[in-house]
Amino acid sequence: MTLLFAATTAAAPTPEPAPLDVTEREVTASNEKVAMAYAALVRMWSANFGRIEAHFAQPSIVRYRGTVSTACGVLPANNAMYCPSRNIIYYDDVFVARQAKAAAAELGTDGDMAAVGIIAHEIGHAVQIQLGEDSNIPYQNEATADCLAGAFTNRSATDGSLEKGDLNEVFFGLAAAGDPTPQYTGDRRIDSQIAFRAHYLGHGTREQRRANFTVGYKHGASGCLEAFR
């Protein structure tokens, strides 16, 4: 399984501000936007698979709160995950609504693409697995999923549905879920372990995630598969 947030020992993370409270109305509005984005993602990837005479098996999408037991293990709160053995995307809808609200507060926008980017990333995992492009290196899979989310955002820009500020909202979401920048100690043995985790595990730093997303935004899905194969 792939978690949006994964444990890392590369460096102690910078303390995050307390999460914003969200109302049920805000969560409902966020869920509606996620549902619209999910439908657009399925349409896009189904069309792309059709061009290579393949079938895209659309994942189911399940909301949860707190923790949830899945075929891929227990998923903690404040997370999202694609479970390949069941072809299901799980997401904590309160967490996703908070991400959107935090982006809106920081950027002065509606914040919706911070939430959409999370779902686009998880569907990216389904795409790469169904294409047989998944790797045994976790970071490689996360980089590809970020890139494929960028390819979807490029399509949104092409069809005119991307609003001013949407890219910054996506980047805000990627930064919030990025791994800490590695902090090396000067001890060769410890630093080699830190470097290994940075290059092979996790989602990548916020800078890496933004760069990986940008590859997809500029070059589309084919650029992602070429870059991260």
Is 109:169 a contact under the CB 8 Å cutoff?
yes
Tens digit of each residue's pLDDT (9 = 90 or more) over 134-176: 887 788 899 999 999 999 998 887 777 777 788 889 888 877 6
* Most distant pair of Cα atoms in the chain: their distance: 52
Nearest-angstrom CA–CA distance, 40 and 119: 11
Distance CA 4, CA 120 (A): 12
Structure tokens at 43: 């349409």
How do beta strands 80-83 and 2-3 pair? Answer: antiparallel
Which residues pair with residue 81 across a beta bridge?
3, 90
C-alpha 209/C-alpha 171 separation (Å) is 8
Enter the DSSP assignment of 15: P
Per-residue pLDDT tens listing for the chain (229 residues): 555 544 322 333 333 445 568 999 999 999 999 999 999 999 999 999 999 899 999 999 999 999 999 999 999 999 999 999 999 999 999 999 999 999 999 999 999 898 889 999 999 999 999 999 888 778 889 999 999 999 999 888 777 777 778 888 988 887 765 444 445 466 666 656 555 555 555 667 888 889 999 999 999 998 998 877 6
Residue 182 half-sphere exposure, CB side, CA atoms within 13 Å? 20
Q: What is the pLDDT of residue 185?
A: 61
Say how far apart CA 198 and CA 215 lie, in whole Å.
Answer: 20
Q: What is the pTM for the complete model shown?
A: 0.82
Specify the residue for token string 């989602």: 203
In sequence order, what are the residues at sequence separation of 6 or more whose Cβ sits closer than 8 angstroms to the Cβ of residue 16? none
d(CA 79, CA 55): 28
